[in-house]
Structure 1
């Protein structure tokens, strides 16, 4: 059993094994009769002396292992060799100036690549192979860097955030094999252009609709085929549908009395920026002011928590405004998935409220038993409007929101229940302006899934004929990138593997609390399993 566990000691003579509560000590000595000189490569049999080396090895049964190895120093008799003496190295067991066995070093390298410094050091201590965070980082620094001479035939390009909203990098992948090729420290066109010129051979480039990447590919390799990713195209379409419904959100509520006409928030032919401030609602004016105030501080590097205290806002509100490009984008970012989850328990909460139970803590405890996983604060916020109004809770809470209406228009028809299909039909009856949106969505879905890229021009004309500004804007943007979009809707290539690795990069970055430098993060991205 010991011979199997200590197979890497076959080339030495094991003299003694001592086991105590904390460690296993192995005493051994080298037995070879000759050794090659590291200077000239000649073999020497003349022994100059002996000394002991202590090597850390892989743990056994939860105990760290230390090898006390006696090695010999040889004399080199080759004329002209710069070395007079040298120490023998046992293959698979010792290395120059290293106090670990190769198998232990490789294990620590894997831990460091997966967890970086401190987390890997904590896990190594738990595995009885203790080391420091700095030692692990030094091991990573000694790993050979991955450098390619030529680029892959099908290259995937996408950006990722070192710090969301501020600093971005670029990941490059071989779409055919799924291998990570390189990582660039920014997402500018100049950086990618220089990389493509240094690594010729690209024939197809899969990318999102970022103009910087498109410009870089056109400059460095104009003969390459650019392929716009289908996922990003579908997301762009869903965002346009969301904006269309947001402009007609007054149609979402069921009509009461003679309120049968659709009153869009912003007409299809009028830009939001052209609306006079005097005609805007108080909420829109407040939203613009908050957006300007938050970005004024966030752009100077002020932390979100400090901005929240300065402006008297909640941290989540400040974060939403800080990550929104325009005030309208901030209005569409209301509510997280956890907050939206509470709407499933609204009927129960409203019924208990009308029964006289208005304690948010008690109501939270009751719906937790029903499976709710949110916080008391979310329940209290959900009931705040009813508490302030002083009226009984509605018997049936409002169900149709902008998000749900967007889902009804973009979901596969076979996945929509009959009740939801009826809601969509009623919405289109109340708002004839949106009547052409579902047809555009389904036509685009068929074109995308069946690879009918040749029908793109006809679809763009159809989208422009709806008269809805978000769809017209989307069509205008797709026309500017017409060839890449057509290729994305025709060819088999996509950025799916790249997007998966972007999620992996996010996990790696979070594991280091966002404090890993570019060199460390690059090695983790390229070399980790």
Structure 2
């Protein structure tokens, strides 16, 4: 019976355990459940060899504790009431058998480990390394926002900055624009359509499309029941009506027999065409979105986003260099390329990521270990999530002895 009471208390806490016990016809109070959890202590456990250390919030932004996890056995070892380096150092000194300590880049934990266990290998957490690299690149983008806003307004695009597929699409668009201009110029001079066809080699239908203004979209329009209504649609669009359903209702009132889908697709193409060639008067995207666009593979961007990225990189080559360094660092961390770290640091210290590189240089041994060792703080982060669940379940009122008893016992 006592073991049953204890296990229910560990799983549910006080009040929830009392409520369940009532349904099971067990006359046990919440205080008895909590006493059973506190009274039972675990037997002797093997000395840890590889541990992970991270902080957790008693109250976010005000008070923090420290959680220590055995990474080999995947269980919580201890909870410390604060995250002071002296507390962590004392705990580590009492366990000289520890060989590896995984931690984030918090300087306090690193210093405490170096003083208490100078021979232990410190491993920086890989997720935090990637997150810090992203934050450093975002800071570089934020510092250059005035120049980025000017670059986005530039109307001349350097094709050398585009990928092969993008260059083909852009060159095709430019050829269409040149052809359209030539045909319209001849039409304005009074040249008959038959002579334009003979001089240019274009089909009669294509020349008529150009004269009617049906080849101005960046994304091509196929022939449909909408063709005869395009001038009317252009007038409505220029007048401010941008809703496909409303455009369709207005055309239906004048005798249009086509479907809503045809008009909706035309409106979608119009919106995409507007976005494909950004004008200098558009509002600049926020720094976080620009940073994300710069770090996404070009093949995964829309035409409009690819044009923006190309303009930014052309105007700010130092930002393009920072983006390349960020990509290389991400690849280095994900593929455990320790031998590339020193060269990367030398390059990054002369770039817009210099502050981030200097921080890595000061903790280079732990960063190199992160690229070499299999350990990380992912398990510790998972245990902290479990701890948060327990705190919420107990409405944040549990003392550290009760939290430790429930967390360690459940592990």
Measure, in 2, the Cα distance between the counterparts of 1:528 and 1:232. Answer: 27
- With over 3 angstroms needed to count, the CA separation of the structure-2 counterparts of 1:258 and 1:221, relative to structure 1, is closer
Measure, in 1, the Cα distance between the counterparts of 2:298 and 2:314. Answer: 21
Contact map agreement 1:241 1:437 (CA 8 A) in 2: yes
State yes or no: 1:109 paired with 2:1: no
Alpha-carbon deviation of 1:403?
2.1
Measure, in 1, the Cα distance between the counterparts of 2:143 and 2:10. Answer: 48
Measure, in 2, the Cα distance between the counterparts of 1:113 and 1:523. Answer: 8
Contact map agreement 1:230 1:488 (CA 8 A) in 2: yes
How well do the aligned residues superpose, as a CA RMSD in angstroms? 2.9
Counterpart residue number, 1:267: none
TM alignment of 1:240-389, pairs within 5 A:
240-251=136-147, 253=149
Aligned length: 290
Measure, in 1, the Cα distance between the counterparts of 2:312 and 2:379. Answer: 38
- With over 3 angstroms needed to count, the CA separation of the structure-2 counterparts of 1:115 and 1:251, relative to structure 1, is farther
Counterpart residue number, 1:520: 402
State yes or no: 1:416 paired with 2:300: yes
Measure, in 1, the Cα distance between the counterparts of 2:6 and 2:298. Answer: 50
Counterpart residue number, 1:459: 344
Alpha-carbon deviation of 1:399?
8.0
State yes or no: 1:446 paired with 2:331: yes
Give 1:137's match in structure 2, choosing from 28, 34, 51. 34
Measure, in 2, the Cα distance between the counterparts of 1:159 and 1:111. Answer: 28
Give 1:484's match in structure 2, choosing from 339, 363, 366. 366
Alpha-carbon deviation of 1:405?
2.2
State yes or no: 1:124 paired with 2:9: no
Alpha-carbon deviation of 1:234?
0.7
Contact map agreement 2:10 2:37 (CA 8 A) in 1: yes
Give 2:312's match in structure 1, choosing from 427, 430, 435. 427
Contiguous gaps of at least 5 residues in structure 1: 1-101, 261-349, 356-395
- The secondary structure found in structure 2 opposite 1:435 is helix
State yes or no: 1:194 paired with 2:90: yes
State yes or no: 1:183 paired with 2:50: no
Counterpart residue number, 1:61: none
Contact map agreement 1:409 1:437 (CA 8 A) in 2: no
Measure, in 2, the Cα distance between the counterparts of 1:431 and 1:127. Answer: 70
- The secondary structure found in structure 2 opposite 1:513 is coil
- With over 3 angstroms needed to count, the CA separation of the structure-2 counterparts of 1:192 and 1:258, relative to structure 1, is closer
Alpha-carbon deviation of 1:251?
4.9
Contiguous gaps of at least 5 residues in structure 2: 157-240, 247-280
Contact map agreement 1:240 1:474 (CA 8 A) in 2: yes
- The secondary structure found in structure 2 opposite 1:160 is strand
Measure, in 2, the Cα distance between the counterparts of 1:415 and 1:108. Answer: 59
Measure, in 1, the Cα distance between the counterparts of 2:155 and 2:299. Answer: 31
Alpha-carbon deviation of 1:257?
6.6
Counterpart residue number, 2:386: 504
Contact map agreement 2:89 2:116 (CA 8 A) in 1: yes
Measure, in 2, the Cα distance between the counterparts of 1:147 and 1:183. Answer: 17
Give 1:493's match in structure 2, choosing from 355, 362, 375. 375
Which structure ranks higher in relative contact order (CA pairs < 8 Å, sequence separation ≥ 6)?
2
- With over 3 angstroms needed to count, the CA separation of the structure-2 counterparts of 1:259 and 1:409, relative to structure 1, is closer
Measure, in 1, the Cα distance between the counterparts of 2:389 and 2:49. Answer: 28
- With over 3 angstroms needed to count, the CA separation of the structure-2 counterparts of 1:476 and 1:138, relative to structure 1, is same
Contact map agreement 2:70 2:77 (CA 8 A) in 1: yes
TM-score (norm 2): 0.64
- With over 3 angstroms needed to count, the CA separation of the structure-2 counterparts of 1:423 and 1:523, relative to structure 1, is farther
Alpha-carbon deviation of 1:518?
1.0
Counterpart residue number, 1:229: 125
- With over 3 angstroms needed to count, the CA separation of the structure-2 counterparts of 1:121 and 1:404, relative to structure 1, is farther
Per-residue Cα deviation, 1:339-388 (whole angstroms, up to 9, x for no partner): xxxxxxxxxxx978xx9xxxxxxxxxxxxxxxxxxxxxxxxxxxxxxxxx
Measure, in 1, the Cα distance between the counterparts of 2:32 and 2:148. Answer: 60
Give 2:322's match in structure 1, choosing from 408, 431, 437. 437
State yes or no: 1:407 paired with 2:292: yes
